[in-house]
Structure 1
Amino acid sequence: MSGKMMSAVPGSQAYVDWIDSLLDDPRHGWSIGSFGAVGEFIRDPGEPLVREATEHARSLCTPRAAIRVRTDVASRILAYDTLAGDGMSWGHALAFCMPRNANLAYPDTIVSLGVDLGAVRAEDRDAWLFDLGVSVGHVRFCLRTHDARLRDHLLGAQNRKLFGPDGRTLMEETLRAQPHRVLLSPLGRIEVFAAIPPADGESPDGPHTHLLPALIKSGRTHDANAPIPAGFQPVLMFNPRSPWRDGMGRRVPFDADLDRDFLRLLDCYGLPEEARIRSSIESAIESGVQPLAFTWPRTRRGRAVARLTLRRIVQRRPSELALEWRAQHDRAEME
């Protein structure tokens, strides 16, 4: 995660170089979607990879998935930490956001989009693309298929809801035909070729999608714990590897370099109010302030940022006072 030229304007060479640096690092992943309907692009370090660079986009393609990122579209970029529930660790996130548009409302039913002329691979550009009507705002969750039977079934299901009375039959056809899943947004697309597991199966390692009806029905664009500014929607997510986890999500010793890399993004793209919380806690501990003498943040997100800050301080510069702060303010039962 290079920290160079991170504030460059979309379309500039500096911005393109930065996006290239993010895409080139296989430790990290990407995702597009709304709450409950998400596609993730992940790749292994030694996995076969095809790169494509055009004037306004960068694409990567593996045997399991593909991603295209537009480099000419402006967005509000937001970096933030995520609080883990294990009482010790944390994660990282970088959201590319766009303003919500009240006049933009894709159908909430199945709709044919014709053939997918925008597919990353040429071999997929004559396949049929169908919006499932489950996403919110700027993004669309689609199926893409060459299978005539599934195509005809989806054509017959147009203007019906995915989770309606015919949903079970459609799911059976989908599992049989194993179509690609395609997530579309103004900043690009993610295409997942990997197999869809059965309803009682587990998501495969690597690139995959999630369709979770209970979350989709909430109509939200993102998890309520993400500090996305009001009126904005994340349309592309860069998912840096946690300094506490490997690519499979297994706990590993803390990687200080990964965390340090993300701190550069946080300094550049973090919310000012969160930076003030981090700074005030660091200054208080350095000045010897006792934990009960500090005015703790009043908002849920503010408290999460404060707890994250304590964890980072204890991990990087442990002291008896910092441990006292954590014992007082960072307990699992608090939130």
Structure 2
Amino acid sequence: MPGEMSIEHRYASGYAALVGRLLDDTRHGWSIGTFGAVGEFVRDDDEPATRTITASAQCLYTARAAIRINLDVEPRMLAYDTLSGDGESWGHSLAFCLPVPDRARRGVIQSLGHDTDAVRDEDRDVAIFDLGAGIGHVRFCLRTRDARLIDTLLALQNQDVFGPHGGALMADVLRAQPHRVLISPAGRIEVFAAIPPPDGESPEGPHTHLLPQLIQSGRTHDANAPIPRGFQPVLMFNPRSPWRDALGRRVPFEPELDADFRKLLDRHGVPGEARIRAGVEAAVASGIRPDAFAWPTTRRGRAVARLTLRRIAQRSPGDLVAAWRAHHDHAEEE
């Protein structure tokens, strides 16, 4: 079954094979966006889906969303995990990165004509507008047949989406319920699911976030992501955490999910982090006291060391690793 397949890639057939294996696995999700402007693609294991493969792209769509991953652009892949603030768990990520373009900044509302590059045939004659909320390589767009919303967006061309007319525009967006389309050189994600009201919760499944305060920070990504300076993520593969179910609820640790991700981490991890992981594991295995170990001096290095201790605690719990965690790993975030 697709939902049971390992996300391990044997590296015999290159980028297209990796993309295909990851797209086939329903346990995990994808996203495209910048800090505060994001579209997410996920699907249920039993959800009907259409899959298309060409030499230049792989696509998958359901009744709720669509994704295309371009194969003629091969970004730099970077696998990493991040601490959770509960003192025990962690999450996984695989970022597909490209160099940040010159003069990367937010844009303004612009008509892009018809969305001739849409994943589904029936969407290719529909009007699409760039909201100017993305940064660098990423565009956050609206696609709609609604005449009133089209007129509103045409009247607001070359204006900031968060300018004086932004509130009225967002009210019209909620009324018209357009598709949201996130575009980057690596591909696109299209979300057809409904936009919740301002006081509502994001729906389960595919959805988007458009958060003005975060967008106006001008960041391409969250500061906790160890993306190399000068790069930005243009596509994210979001493996399910071994501590969370598909709805984000806490579950007992699933070692198979973590073992799957470790294969990606070993192949595409941040340079230097493998040395930190190996050093902590060797020290604990040798019985070294936690206060005798040269703890990393950088914020990210300390996070990697703490993550390693948490993994060891799940694999080989005992008094020594408990002492290490008491000394070095704390529930509160730095």
Match of 1:155 in 2: 154
Q: State the SS of the aligned residue for 1:219.
A: coil
Partner deviation per Cα, 1:269-288 (whole Å, 9 max, x = no partner) = 00121111100000101111
Match of 1:233 in 2: 232
What's the CA shift for 1:182? 0.1
Match of 1:204 in 2: 203
Match of 1:265 in 2: 264
- Separation in structure 1 between the aligned mates of residue 149 and residue 52 of structure 2, nearest angstrom: 30
Q: Does residue 322 of structure 2 align to residue 317 of structure 1? A: no
- Separation in structure 2 between the aligned mates of residue 229 and residue 28 of structure 1, nearest angstrom: 24
Match of 2:3 in 1: none
Match of 1:15 in 2: 15
Aligned partners of 2:85 and 2:333 also within 8 Å? no
- Separation in structure 2 between the aligned mates of residue 55 and residue 334 of structure 1, nearest angstrom: 45
Partner deviation per Cα, 1:249-277 (whole Å, 9 max, x = no partner) = 01111111110000000000001211111
2:8 partner amino acid:
G
Aligned partners of 2:9 and 2:21 also within 8 Å? no
**Tell me, which stretches of 5 or more residues in structure 1 are unaligned?**
none
Aligned partners of 1:5 and 1:15 also within 8 Å? no
Q: 1:101 to 1:310 in 2, by over 3 A?
A: same
Q: Does residue 182 of structure 2 align to residue 177 of structure 1? A: no
Partner deviation per Cα, 1:154-174 (whole Å, 9 max, x = no partner) = 000001111111011101110
Q: Does residue 129 of structure 2 align to residue 124 of structure 1? A: no
What's the CA shift for 1:44? 0.4
Aligned partners of 1:61 and 1:67 also within 8 Å? yes
Q: 1:54 to 1:317 in 2, by over 3 A?
A: same
- Separation in structure 2 between the aligned mates of residue 162 and residue 46 of structure 1, nearest angstrom: 38
Match of 2:48 in 1: 48
TM-score of the aligned structures, taking structure 2 as reference length: 0.96
- Separation in structure 1 between the aligned mates of residue 300 and residue 154 of structure 2, nearest angstrom: 44
**Tell me, which stretches of 5 or more residues in structure 2 are unaligned?**
1-5
TM-score of the aligned structures, taking structure 1 as reference length: 0.96
Count residues with an aligned counterpart. 329
Match of 1:294 in 2: 293
Match of 1:221 in 2: 220
Q: State the SS of the aligned residue for 2:78.
A: strand
- Separation in structure 2 between the aligned mates of residue 4 and residue 202 of structure 1, nearest angstrom: 35
Q: State the SS of the aligned residue for 2:208.
A: strand
- Separation in structure 1 between the aligned mates of residue 121 and residue 146 of structure 2, nearest angstrom: 17
Q: 1:334 to 1:100 in 2, by over 3 A?
A: closer
Q: State the SS of the aligned residue for 2:182.
A: strand
What's the CA shift for 1:74? 1.8
Q: Identity over the aligned pairs, expressed in percent?
A: 66
Which segments of structure 1 move beyond 4 Å, counting only runs of 4 or more? none
What's the CA shift for 1:334? 5.7
2:203 partner amino acid:
P
Aligned partners of 2:90 and 2:307 also within 8 Å? yes
Structure-to-structure mapping, 1:38-77, within 5 angstroms: 38-77=38-77
